[in-house]
Amino acid sequence: MTRSDKERMLAGEPTLSGDPELLEIAARACFAFNQAHPDDETRMDHLRPIFGEMGENVWIEAPLYVDFGELTKIGDKVFINTNCTILDGGGVTIGDQVLIAPNVQIMAAGHPIKASDRMVYPFENEPERMNFVNLAGPIKIGNGCWIGAGAIILPNVTIGDRAVIGAGAVVTKDVPADSLAVGNPARVVRQI
């Protein structure tokens, strides 16, 4: 039996960007939430069907950009500030009591480093559009973490419980629990 691009994506294997199932999921992800009026007391209700799991007492500020949504799990008492981008192709897990500052990018998706591995292909029926190879890897953010403004978290990263990621940090490898990581690439500067 042939596996779908979604199944291959979840396994961390290469997929093509033009897969119709994946494009359909991405197209519907956050439109209703981002279009809701700020005074609309029901705007958070738009997110429950988007995410794979969403805990209690979650608050997210618009705009929010999510690739698929169903591959993201959010715990209880989470606050995500404005302009967060979640590319969740590899799966994203956000623990309980997590604070995510403005302009954070959680990137559980990317492309192969070697040019020949990410070759661009024209779509069969639309030669003016281009297709490319995607890769994905999971991101896990532990309980009680604080992700500073403008931080970027890359695929295949686990951030341990209660860790703090400094503003503007680019997280390329695991960060242990109870530690402060800053810089590009992020490195642990002390235990907290």
Residue 129 pLDDT: 64
Residue 33 pLDDT: 85
In 3-state terms, what secondary structure has residue 19?
A: coil
Phi, psi angles (nearest 5°) of residue 28: -100, -5
Residue 147 pLDDT: 99
**pLDDT tens digit string along 33-87?**
888 888 888 888 888 888 889 999 999 999 999 988 888 999 999 999 999 999 9
Walk across the sheet containing 133-136 and list its strands.
15-16, 133-136, 109-110
Residues 5-191: name the CATH superfamily: Hexapeptide repeat proteins (2.160.10.10)
DSSP 127-192: TTSEE-EEEE--EEE-TT-EE-TT-EE-SSEEE-TT-EE-TT-EE-S-B-TTEEEETTTTEEEEE-
Residue 9 pLDDT: 75
> pTM value?
0.89
Residue 43 pLDDT: 84
Q: Which residue(s) pair with 165 in the sheet?
A: 147, 181
Active site residues: 111
Neighbours of 142 (CB within 10 A): 22
User: Residue 7 corresponds to which tokens in the numbers above?
Assistant: 């199944």
Cα separation, 161 vs 140, whole angstroms: 10
Neighbours of 126 (CB within 10 A): 10
Segments in the chain below pLDDT 70: 1, 17-29, 121-130
In the chain, what are the domain boundaries? 5-191
Residue 123 pLDDT: 61
